[in-house]
Structure 1
Amino acid sequence: MTGEHRAALVVVARDGGVRLATTRELERRYGADYLVVPAADPGRVAGLLAAGGDPPVAVLLGGLGDADPDGLAVLRRLHGAHPGALAVAVVRWGAWETAQPIFEAITVGQLDRWVYAPQGRSDEEFHRSVTEALDEWASQQGGGFEAVRVVGDRWDPHAQHLRDQLTRNRIPLGFYEAGSADGRALLADLGIPQPRLPVVVVRFRPQQAVLQAPTDLELAESFGLFDPLDPGAVHDVAVVGAGPAGLGASVYAASEGLDTLQLEREAVGGQAGTSSLIRNYLGFPTGVSGSRLAFAAYQQAWAFGTRFSFMRTVQALSTEDGLHRLALSDGSSVRARAVVVATGAVWRRIGVPELEEFTGRGVFHGAAVSEAPAMRGRHVFVVGGGNSAGQAAVYLSRHADRVSLLVRRDSLVQSMSDYLVRELVALPNVDVRYRVQVVGGSGADVLETVRLRDLDTGAETEEAGMLFVMIGSQPRTDWVDGVLARDRWGFLLTGPALLADGVDPPWPLDRPPALLETSTPGVFAAGDVREGSVKRVASAVGEGALAVTLVHAHLAAQEAAVADEGRPGGRAGAPASAGREERLG
């Protein structure tokens, strides 16, 4: 059996019924691929693993209940010896007394999830939980099927950008260092003796595509994602951006029968798509990664009929005769009767000139998920005090030797969820430093040292490490400058805010603007791009759904205007008529 198993599933429980039922189900369903190691005594686990060839441990399943009152402590000790494994508590159904200690352990990062012990043969609820745990473990390990292979230099910003884009879009990826034996062999097999790096091999298409230093547009074309847009079509609604707000709008619009087009310049998910684990999103008691949540929403919108266009940037918005025209970066344009702007925001730059040259080479804005494996053995600094920074610090702590969260304020209470603060404090290799600012850094090919300043004393120190920057957001609204009203930071003004003095451009109609309507009637804003929005995934999804309700009202008003024009004495030149006739024609 030695060497045949990819990894081990360890079951530790003194409760014989729980141990035997769990072991039996694991062996029946997973025994061909995983070594199942049952033990009543945790002290025997190391010997049993050694006898099985010492495979890595994927999941530690520990009993918790009357026979195993110290089950969580046992799991913690075993997890210390196998930090790459997921720690899962196994409880009997109805053992409600275990709920509070389990929730507390998950909150402080000492437990990944829990399952009910199998209730009988082929307990599919149990197997769903185990499969989700194995999927999470496998995604952290890499390897397996590689739909796309990238050969490049680890610290090349272009290679880092490609890794980030592909990872966020949940495309199975294999990355090969160009100077490694595997990388050189792959380039030789491709017949590229002097490649322009990075080289991308798209393996899942009928004709394998090999791209050298590709642009995002070239990559999208090779994937078959660059479908031609009909310049004569008039869509009911165009959604700009595929973060939580945009995806929420698309799901509800398409499911309610609206002709929906979604335009996304990068990857689905927006900033939320870079979150390693979102723990407070409704319906996911053990958390969900941002990329998984976003990809599921993308598939849902697609299934309802939303048409997606990737890697095209919307560059301008104009309105004529009741129709909105979006000019795209490839020279084409699309028209729609209503628009939902959900372009979200980008991470703010840290504002230290000497660090800019290290972007992608030790300085990363977001990208914690895609770059975490390269942080093994390193000290990592995460700059920021919000949930995204906290989630990144937690995720990076699974790979880096040490993680330091740098916060300008003297507390995280106002900016970070309580559960996340508690988890950070409990992690042994994470420290939170308050009233600290990054003021510099240095290195040869990559960032090697970071210079920090104590904001109270002014003292500066230098420490070795790499930097992940998550210090707030800057809205993606430059493309509507002068077209839609914005606040001084660039966020879009909507609803009652448009009626204040000095808004430019002003609200043009006698009726008041709808709650999420911008200064152009029929153009709505949702999510982080909107002034006054709540920076949470759930609220962004809710705003996207609400925007569709307002779109329906806008389209109904257009229909009424068309009907009114057809009556004797109706208004001439009602703008909605042209749009409706073109859409039906």
Structure 2
Amino acid sequence: MTRPAIVLLSREPGMRALVQRALRRRYEQDYQVRVHGDVASLRETLGQLRADETPVALLMVGYGEEEPDGLSVLESLEVDRTALRVTVVRWGDWSAARPIFDAIGMGLVDRWITVPELETDEEFHRTVSEFLDDAASRRGTSFEAVRLVGHRWDGRTQHLRDLFDRNHIPTGFYDAATPDGRAVLLGAGVQDPTFPVVLLHFRRDATVLQNPTDIQIADAFGLFEPFGEEEEFDLTIVGAGPAGLGAAVYAASEGLRTIVLETEAVGGQAGTSSLIRNYLGFPSGISGSRLAFRAYEQAWTFGARFHFMRAATGLARSGDHLSVRLSDHSSVRSAAVIVATGAAYRRLGVPELETLTGRGVFYGATVSEAPAMRGQQVYVAGGGNSAGQAAVHLARYAEHVTILVRRPTLAETMSEYLIKEIDAAPNITVRPRTEVVGGTGTEFVESLRLRDVGTGAEEEVPGVLFVLIGAEPRSHWLGDDVAKDRRGYVLTGDAAPHEPGLPTPALLETSVPGVFAAGDVRHGSVKRVASAVGEGALAVSLVQPHLGWLRARR
């Protein structure tokens, strides 16, 4: 297997010597470390690596007083978009900070790092290791804990690819129609399979599942931790998106017996985001799936229990106890419930495109599909942050990405840092006041029909479509006892009606005492990851007095 390359350019001898020494000592066994002191020889090396089909993991270029054009040089160098472009600076060169941050904000540079001043500078190596991990994720090269064999555009196969990716499970996908796919099946001893086939490569018994349900997969992974019919928890959290995970961490750390129910993957909609750059504590950004997985591990460490692949189907009260019914006909009993089920992307409602879902028409960011977009014309319908993040990520692979929005601009619905990055991207354009009204295709989408909202003029364009528009709260399972607004968002606090004689619901409490709501499912919530996490934590602080009130009644 060809070793990826780490390529360094520094025209300052001192900087070049220090960085070269650190890179060669620690990484040369697994990576080709190429070091240059001039731009011309660097361009030759990049051309040779491209000709040899050797991937570049990191392209590192010095920047500072002796290399004032470092940023412009880095921006001008041609490398595959899966490579991370890193600017290298001396510690204490504060004048370099603002130009670097501006370049990162516009997507012209990916990361920055300071020169290692010590022979064993572990801060430098921790940062480089994170960069290399990100680059490996972009290339799709990693350990395969699971092997998935199926038909490329089959809906069920696509669902499983997305499910594994969002749950941070290293997965290798093999098209059943290719020699590699047939070889994997042959090696597993599978004949006349029912697709998709899931091979749990990490298990000694090499478990093989044919066209499994989500529940069968969870059981095979050991993710299903059974609980007794009479077992009761202090708190049930429904949903493991940012709000649910935030609540789980704080509830479990406070010693509450906590169970989290999640029907798909940790992270919710945020878990599909390729890079969240405005979350506290991650100056270079972090992918939604990584952020969610870290929160999941944190809650798990504190003792929270997770119950995957079972959907909540109903909520009932019996005395002081609340019961959440699940899709496998079991129930979870607890003293309090936090509803953190979030919202789903709204469907387009275009019949000819609905039949092509998963075959060129995708709902959500579906990060796992991005590498398949190489050379494609891609359209992203939506004007929110999720749509912007998806467009930036897809632009690393697609020939061109067009963002379609019904509004005149993105300013009302998208964060400024994303707008700047989109404006600076050479292969992203924005088409305002445009909607998707039709399309053609049989096995795969062939064309999309776009309409100008103002004039009504229509045109047909070839391309693949990702839809991230609107939101529909996942609140249907709650029934009528939990009050909602006309769009289905859960009412809380003063907005929630309450029974005569009972106190007004607490800030995040619903019309049912002991049932709280947090995150996107709640009426009036701010649709941002940080605010959802905060609401989850706040909800736990409101659960505590409710539990105290219940104890006082007994």
Shorter-chain TM-score tier? over 0.9
Corresponding position: 1:11 with 2:8? yes
Secondary structure of the corresponding residue to residue 227 of structure 1: coil
Corresponding position: 1:387 with 2:385? yes
Match of 2:65 in 1: 66
Corresponding position: 1:34 with 2:31? yes
Supply the distance in 2 between the matched residues of 1:335 and 1:113 (Cα, whole angstroms): 47
What are the within-5 Å matches in structure 2 for residues 517-528 of structure 1? 517-528=509-520
Q: Give, in angstroms, the shift of residue 54 of structure 1.
A: 6.2
Q: Give, in angstroms, the shift of residue 84 of structure 1.
A: 2.6
Mapped contact 1:368–1:396 kept (Cα < 8 A): no
Q: 2:204 is matched with which residue: 200, 203, 206?
A: 206
AA partner of residue 163 (structure 1): R
Match of 2:527 in 1: 535
Mapped contact 1:164–1:367 kept (Cα < 8 A): no
Corresponding position: 1:22 with 2:14? no
Match of 2:140 in 1: 142
Q: 2:506 is matched with which residue: 506, 509, 514?
A: 514
What are the within-5 Å matches in structure 2 for residues 455-494 of structure 1? 455-494=453-492
Supply the distance in 2 between the matched residues of 1:463 and 1:329 (Cα, whole angstroms): 42
Match of 2:363 in 1: 365
Q: 1:558 is matched with which residue: 539, 550, 553?
A: 550
Mapped contact 1:244–1:527 kept (Cα < 8 A): yes
Supply the distance in 2 between the matched residues of 1:89 and 1:239 (Cα, whole angstroms): 43
Mapped contact 1:205–1:223 kept (Cα < 8 A): no
Supply the distance in 1 between the matched residues of 2:500 and 2:186 (Cα, whole angstroms): 63
Q: Give, in angstroms, the shift of residue 508 of structure 1.
A: 4.9
CA RMSD of aligned residues (A): 1.3
Q: Give, in angstroms, the shift of residue 367 of structure 1.
A: 3.6
Q: 1:271 is matched with which residue: 269, 272, 290?
A: 269
Q: 2:353 is matched with which residue: 352, 355, 379?
A: 355
Secondary structure of the corresponding residue to residue 511 of structure 1: coil
Supply the distance in 1 between the matched residues of 2:248 and 2:375 (Cα, whole angstroms): 42
AA partner of residue 36 (structure 2): A
What are the within-5 Å matches in structure 2 for residues 278-317 of structure 1? 278-317=276-315
Secondary structure of the corresponding residue to residue 481 of structure 2: coil
Mapped contact 1:507–1:513 kept (Cα < 8 A): no
What is the TM-score of this pair, normalised by structure 2? Answer: 0.98
Output one character per residue of 1:237-290: Cα deviation in whole Å (capped at 9) or x when no partner: 000000000000000000010000111000000000000000000010010000
Mapped contact 2:365–2:386 kept (Cα < 8 A): no
Supply the distance in 1 between the matched residues of 2:178 and 2:424 (Cα, whole angstroms): 38
Corresponding position: 1:417 with 2:409? no
Q: Give, in angstroms, the shift of residue 448 of structure 1.
A: 1.3
Supply the distance in 2 between the matched residues of 1:51 and 1:314 (Cα, whole angstroms): 55
Secondary structure of the corresponding residue to residue 279 of structure 2: coil
Supply the distance in 2 between the matched residues of 1:54 and 1:372 (Cα, whole angstroms): 20
Supply the distance in 2 between the matched residues of 1:205 and 1:516 (Cα, whole angstroms): 43
What are the within-5 Å matches in structure 2 for residues 169-180 of structure 1? 169-180=167-178
Q: Give, in angstroms, the shift of residue 49 of structure 1.
A: 5.4
Supply the distance in 1 between the matched residues of 2:429 and 2:369 (Cα, whole angstroms): 20
AA partner of residue 516 (structure 2): F
Secondary structure of the corresponding residue to residue 237 of structure 2: strand
AA partner of residue 6 (structure 1): R
Secondary structure of the corresponding residue to residue 449 of structure 2: strand
What is the TM-score of this pair, normalised by structure 1? Answer: 0.93
Mapped contact 2:275–2:286 kept (Cα < 8 A): yes
Output one character per residue of 1:514-566: Cα deviation in whole Å (capped at 9) or x when no partner: 0000011011000000000000000000000000000101011112222xxxx
AA partner of residue 221 (structure 1): D
Secondary structure of the corresponding residue to residue 496 of structure 2: helix
Q: Give, in angstroms, the shift of residue 389 of structure 1.
A: 0.2
Call closer, same or farther: CA 1:54–1:154 in 2, change over 3 Å: closer
Q: Give, in angstroms, the shift of residue 50 of structure 1.
A: 6.8
Supply the distance in 1 between the matched residues of 2:205 and 2:15 (Cα, whole angstroms): 51
Call closer, same or farther: CA 1:224–1:475 in 2, change over 3 Å: same
Output one character per residue of 1:216-254: Cα deviation in whole Å (capped at 9) or x when no partner: 111111111122121111100000000000000000000
Secondary structure of the corresponding residue to residue 6 of structure 2: strand
Match of 1:47 in 2: 44
Mapped contact 1:49–1:55 kept (Cα < 8 A): no
Corresponding position: 1:326 with 2:318? no
Match of 1:502 in 2: none
Mapped contact 2:225–2:307 kept (Cα < 8 A): yes
Q: Give, in angstroms, the shift of residue 497 of structure 1.
A: 0.3
Match of 2:93 in 1: 95
Match of 1:577 in 2: none
Q: Give, in angstroms, the shift of residue 143 of structure 1.
A: 2.7
AA partner of residue 55 (structure 1): T
Q: Mind listing any 5+ residue stretches in structure 2 that lack a counterpart?
A: none
Mapped contact 1:59–1:134 kept (Cα < 8 A): yes
Percent identity at matched positions?
A: 57
Supply the distance in 1 between the matched residues of 2:44 and 2:71 (Cα, whole angstroms): 21
Supply the distance in 1 between the matched residues of 2:155 and 2:162 (Cα, whole angstroms): 10
Q: Which structure's CA Rg is the greater one?
A: 1
Call closer, same or farther: CA 1:481–1:20 in 2, change over 3 Å: same
Supply the distance in 2 between the matched residues of 1:12 and 1:82 (Cα, whole angstroms): 17
Output one character per residue of 1:168-189: Cα deviation in whole Å (capped at 9) or x when no partner: 0010000001010100111222
Match of 1:76 in 2: 75
Secondary structure of the corresponding residue to residue 335 of structure 2: strand
